[in-house]
């Protein structure tokens, strides 16, 4: 590990800061999760992968991370979709919670320490609103409860804008009953046919912003280390969370605010409302999950990431280069089984310079606000080193040492990113693989008989089916393209 300290870009201050948790050795982190009314799209998947990687890196540095990611399972969109499908809103939400787990698991996103649901925390939400009444920040109108933004003097500090500037660029629902047009709902009176919960203000359901404030407080306390989400949540969601939480508790809600950039399509934000979104499930039907995760990490998390098939094809080819380098390294080092793809101790002896340099560059990148793009570049440096050492291993003891140490470093670093290049290598060969081996044997017989026409035809047909053959001095190797 190098001596560099971890720095993160804090949206609240607009600059990079040295990361110092509130409690030594521990990190409390809240990430806004999905509203469960549909399958997630690629834009939803980006913060899942990005902040899962942040969590993995913090854990790799030795922190004990409490990671909370909520499900918004009470929402206008859920009610609307449930009506369209003629199913109860709770049933619809539960269905998409299950589907979320399928997609997140595919992308190797670790389960949160806690996945709280709004529907299971009504008592906490109501108590929170009651506290805002006691502090003079909430008011009721005919069963609707609102937060008085003008009472909170620091409103707008996350967005670095005044209330007037925020109002100028915001779409605010007009309600002449409110004390100020920017006052937002804490509790909504129920309408006919909508789900509701009993409260001191009558039957209803919570507003969007109060849900995260109440759940983060329950599991992480009044003040915690990191609050994260997409940059579209800065205003109004996160701005309103700060107002509610700090009005009630009188302490900063979170020390560091992290926000990932948009995924764009033709430089326009990907979103359901614009109709230019691509369901993650559809993309995973075409590309391997590790390729999609690699693609999402190939750009710095705060930068926009433009989407098209060509960029995913490029990511697939790039990831295959890493996979091939690792496979050749293992073969040249004489490994029967791959090491586990996870961070761990590296190189008990002296680390070769080439390996040390690549590993140092990886940590420098990650310590610079989780720059996964430069970290991946360091992985490719290490892959080139391994390829060179693999070619020289038979004649050079030094190259063999580079391979053995480099292989451990490679497994460590790629594990930090939540990626795997050994997927499928340990399982028993299935029927399809046995058939490929049989076809290769037939091709070898054709070559031995100088029937090169048949040999070449077999090679080309396998390539067309997605199977690449490599003729080497040690024999024929094959892999899926």
Which is more confident, 135 or 464?
Answer: 135
Strand partners, 185: 146
The answer as to whether 1 is a domain residue is no
Q: Does residue 478 have a pLDDT over 80?
A: no
The answer as to whether 192 is a domain residue is yes
Residues 79 and 216 in one domain: yes
The answer as to whether 426 is a domain residue is no
Buried b (16+ CB within 10 A) or exposed e, 98-135: ebbeebbebbbbeebeeebbbbebbebbbebbbbbeee
Q: Does residue 424 have a pLDDT over 50?
A: no
Residues 177 and 288 in one domain: yes
- Domain termination residue (choose one: 287, 306, 325): 306
Residues 215 and 349 in one domain: no
The answer as to whether 219 is a domain residue is yes
Q: Does residue 423 have a pLDDT over 90?
A: no
439/367 Cα distance (integer angstroms): 49
Residues 141 and 278 in one domain: yes
The arrangement of strands across the sheet holding 263-265 comes to: 268-269, 263-265, 305-306
Confidence of residue 3 (pLDDT cuts 50, 70, 90): very low
The token pair at 479 is 């892999």
* DSSP of 375-419: HHHHHHHHHHHHHHHHHHTTT-HHHHHHHHHHHHHHHHHHHHTT-
Residues 78 and 113 in one domain: yes
Give the pLDDT confidence score for residue 58 in this predicted structure: 98
69/48 Cα distance (integer angstroms): 9
Q: Where are the alpha helices (DSSP H) in 86-232?
A: 89-106, 122-135, 163-168, 208-220
Report how many domains make up the chain: 3
Confidence of residue 168 (pLDDT cuts 50, 70, 90): confident
pLDDT, tens only, 321-380 = 999 999 888 888 776 444 455 555 566 567 889 999 999 999 999 999 999 999 999 999
The answer as to whether 425 is a domain residue is no
213/276 Cα distance (integer angstroms): 31
Note the pTM of the prediction, 2 decimals: 0.84
Buried b (16+ CB within 10 A) or exposed e, 285-323: eebbbbbbbbbbbbbbbbeebebeeeebeebbebbbebb
Residues 195 and 239 in one domain: yes
Q: Does residue 114 have a pLDDT over 70?
A: yes
The answer as to whether 266 is a domain residue is yes
Residues 287 and 154 in one domain: yes
The answer as to whether 382 is a domain residue is yes
Residues 408 and 442 in one domain: no
- Domain termination residue (choose one: 391, 416, 441): 416
Q: Does residue 48 have a pLDDT over 90?
A: yes
- Domain termination residue (choose one: 416, 447, 464): 416
Residues 453 and 471 in one domain: yes
Residues 54 and 194 in one domain: yes
124/102 Cα distance (integer angstroms): 29
Residues 104 and 157 in one domain: yes
Residues 260 and 286 in one domain: yes
The token pair at 114 is 């806690």
State the average pLDDT over residues 230-245. 96
Q: What is the mean pLDDT of the chain?
A: 89
Which CATH number does the domain housing residue 328 bear? 1.20.120.640
CA-to-CA dists, residue 200 to 137, 273, 323, angstroms: 16, 35, 59
Give the pLDDT confidence score for residue 90 in this predicted structure: 94
The answer as to whether 422 is a domain residue is no
Range of the domain at 149: 7-306
Nearest to 79 by CA among 36, 117, 39, 115: 36
CA-to-CA dists, residue 220 to 243, 250, 253, 372, angstroms: 17, 16, 10, 27
């Amino acid at each position: 590990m190098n001596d560099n300290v971890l720095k993160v870009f804090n949206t609240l201050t607009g600059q990079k800061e040295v990361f110092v948790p509130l409690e030594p050795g521990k990190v409390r982190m809240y990430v806004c999760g999905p509203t469960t009314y549909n399958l997630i799209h690629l834009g939803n998947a980006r913060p899942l992968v990005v902040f899962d990687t942040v969590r993995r890196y913090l854990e790799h540095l030795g922190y004990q991370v409490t990671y909370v990611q909520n499900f918004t399972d009470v929402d206008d969109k859920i009610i609307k979709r449930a009506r369209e499908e003629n199913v109860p809103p709770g049933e619809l939400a539960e269905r998409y919670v299950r589907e979320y787990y399928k997609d997140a698991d595919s992308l190797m996103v670790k389960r949160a320490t806690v996945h709280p649901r709004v529907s299971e925390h009504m008592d906490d939400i109501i108590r929170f609103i009651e506290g805002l009444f006691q502090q003079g920040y909430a008011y009721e109108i005919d069963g609707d409860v609102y937060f008085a933004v003008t009472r909170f003097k620091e409103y707008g500090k996350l967005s670095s804008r005044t209330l007037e500037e925020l109002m100028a660029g915001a779409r605010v629902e007009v309600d002449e009953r409110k004390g100020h047009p920017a006052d937002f709902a804490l509790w909504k009176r129920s309408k006919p046919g909508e789900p509701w919960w009993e409260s001191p203000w009558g039957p209803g359901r919570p507003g969007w912003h109060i849900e995260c404030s109440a759940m983060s407080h329950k599991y992480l306390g009044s003040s915690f280390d990191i609050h994260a989400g997409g940059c579209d949540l800065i205003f109004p969601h996160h701005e309103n969370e700060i107002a509610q939480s700090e009005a009630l508790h009188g302490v900063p809600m979170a020390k560091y605010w992290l926000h990932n950039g948009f995924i764009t399509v033709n430089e326009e934000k990907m979103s359901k409302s614009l109709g230019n979104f691509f369901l993650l499930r559809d993309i995973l039907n075409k590309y391997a999950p590790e390729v999609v995760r690699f693609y999402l990490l190939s750009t710095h998390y705060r930068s926009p990431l433009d989407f098209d098939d060509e960029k995913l094809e490029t990511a697939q080819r790039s990831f295959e280069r890493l996979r091939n380098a690792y496979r050749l390294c293992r073969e040249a080092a004489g490994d029967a089984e791959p090491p586990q793809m996870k961070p761990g101790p590296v190189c008990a002896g002296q680390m070769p310079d080439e390996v040390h340099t690549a590993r140092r560059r990886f940590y420098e990148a990650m310590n610079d606000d989780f720059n996964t793009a430069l970290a991946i570049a360091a992985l490719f440096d290490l892959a080139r080193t391994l390829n060179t050492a693999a070619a020289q291993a038979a004649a050079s003891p030094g190259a063999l040492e580079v391979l053995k140490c480099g292989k451990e470093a490679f497994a460590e670093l790629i594990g930090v990113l939540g990626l795997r290049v050994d997927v499928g290598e340990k399982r028993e060969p299935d029927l399809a693989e046995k058939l490929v081996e049989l076809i290769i044997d037939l091709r070898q017989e054709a070559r031995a008989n100088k029937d090169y026409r048949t040999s070449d035809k077999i090679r080309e047909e396998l390539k067309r089916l997605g199977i690449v053959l490599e003729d080497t001095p040690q024999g024929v190797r094959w892999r899926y393209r």
